Amino acid sequence: VGLWYWCTDQYIVQRALAAHNLTQARRGTICAAYMKLLPLFIFIIPGMIAFALDKSGKLIENQQVFTDEKSFNQAFPVLVQAILPAGVRGLVVAGLLAALMSSLASVFNSSSTLFTIDIYKKLRPQSSEQHLVWVGRMATGVMVLLGLAWIPAMALVSDALYKYLQSVQAYIAPPIAAVFFLGLFLRRINGAGCMAGLIGGFVLGMGRLAAELYNKSYDNALAGTFLHGFATVNFLYFCIILFTVSVLLIVLVSLLTPPPRAERVKSLTYATVTTEDRQVSRASWNKWDVVHTCAVLCLILVIYWYFTG
């Protein structure tokens, strides 16, 4: 999931490609990696504070807020309402709304760009720029409607918003990550293999999501069948399985079909990188980039060790 997010997700790729040069793109990504560590504490610590205050009766006097698992989603709103003064409360709400609008704008912009440029323009290459802008706006509107229609299904995947996000990403990301990873290291991988991995992985991931929604919608309707295990296996285990299946599909189909021409993979894999490419890459970083990269990795390992110990 991490490989998919940092290397292929349009949300990140757009920002990296907008950098002035390779050095700025790399350092911007390292800076973002530092900031990406903060949500762990932003998600966990307020919940711990709210739970402790609630158990001691100091959150809302003579009232216990968190009576079941579903009520834990109210931890942050209750903290804001009960602890913060009026002025600060407004600033926090304004900040949340601003961040939400920024994130949604980026997602909708990325989605409309992908549809307009990668799909619609290839089907209708003669389309004018004005027409493509109109198509992009329509695609954004459709994305908004689909997002609204999907809201009722979110609770069926998980009552916890963060777990829902991780679950859905685990059903989508592995095939894309497999294509990207193998494409970097194996020059024998071709377009047919990548398409097979993407399509097969997508079908398997969406099948898991559909089975999970069906099983939860109809009160464990798949109990006693093979699909019950498929629908209920932990999403992290399923992520590993989906990644493995996608890799096998990509490799198998690539080996059964003609290899890509040498000129098409030049400078795209580690095996086909030219000396000039290596020199450009080496000139774009120094020891401080390495130091900060190692620091990020060490912080991640420390966090894993602390919260699993």
pTM of this prediction?
A: 0.75
How many Cβ atoms from other residues are within 10 Å of residue 25's Cβ?
16
Q: Tell me the pLDDT band of 205, cut-offs 50, 70 and 90.
A: very high
Tokens 């307020």 belong to 46
Has residue 61 got a pLDDT over 60?
no
Computed over every residue of the chain, the mean pLDDT equals 83
Has residue 197 got a pLDDT over 90?
yes
Give me the residue spans of the domains in the chain: 104-157
The number of residues making up the chain comes to: 309
* Rounded distance between C-alpha atoms, residue 175 and residue 244, angstroms: 9
Decide: 190 and 254 in contact? Cβ < 8 Å: yes
Q: What kind and span of H or E run contains 47? A: helix 38-55
Has residue 176 got a pLDDT over 80?
yes
* Rounded distance between C-alpha atoms, residue 145 and residue 227, angstroms: 30
* Rounded distance between C-alpha atoms, residue 131 and residue 127, angstroms: 6
Q: Tell me the pLDDT band of 294, cut-offs 50, 70 and 90.
A: very high
